[in-house]
Amino acid sequence: MPIPLATIGYEAAPQAKVIDTLKAAGVEVLIDVRAIAASRRAGFSKGLLSSSLEDAGIAYVHLRALGTPKEGRMAARRGKTAEMREILPTWPSPRRSCSWPRPSRSPRAGRPPCSATRPTIAAATA
């Protein structure tokens, strides 16, 4: 049985609102798919985000290889979204480049994060 997967962007919301939304949806693991897990927005850089999620009972996993490659980010900054999309076919396959790490234990009740309860996973995609 597949594990439910959702996506969430963070551009227009403060960190507390994003975490409240994740909690309300029953998310147990957030997968950060940004190539560079840094943000000018308060609370969304990797260290602060992961510790805030942990405090809220949500595990954090960063899968950098799933983020937009440097060439794609540079094209997007220049407003060349078509060029950015052309780069995507050369993007590494997650199956080849990631081992899909999981936290060793779920922060909730000591359960493994992918137990028979099939926790929800969200991917941060902003």
Separation of alpha carbons 63 and 123, rounded Å: 10
pLDDT digits (tens, 9 = 90+) for 1-30: 677 788 888 778 899 999 999 999 999 999
- Output the CA torsion sign for 20, 100, 41, 7: negative
Separation of alpha carbons 24 and 1, rounded Å: 23
Separation of alpha carbons 81 and 75, rounded Å: 7
Q: What's the pTM value of the predicted model, to 2 decimals?
A: 0.64
Domain ranges of the chain: 5-101+113-124
Task: Give CA torsion, residues 35, 39, 43, 47, to 10 deg.
Answer: 50
Coil/strand/helix, residue 41: coil
pLDDT of 77 above 80: yes
pLDDT of 32 above 50: yes
Q: Which residue has the higher pLDDT, 103 or 45?
A: 45
The CA-to-CA distance between both ends of the chain, in Å, stands at: 28
Q: Which run of H or E residues covers position 71?
A: helix 70-77
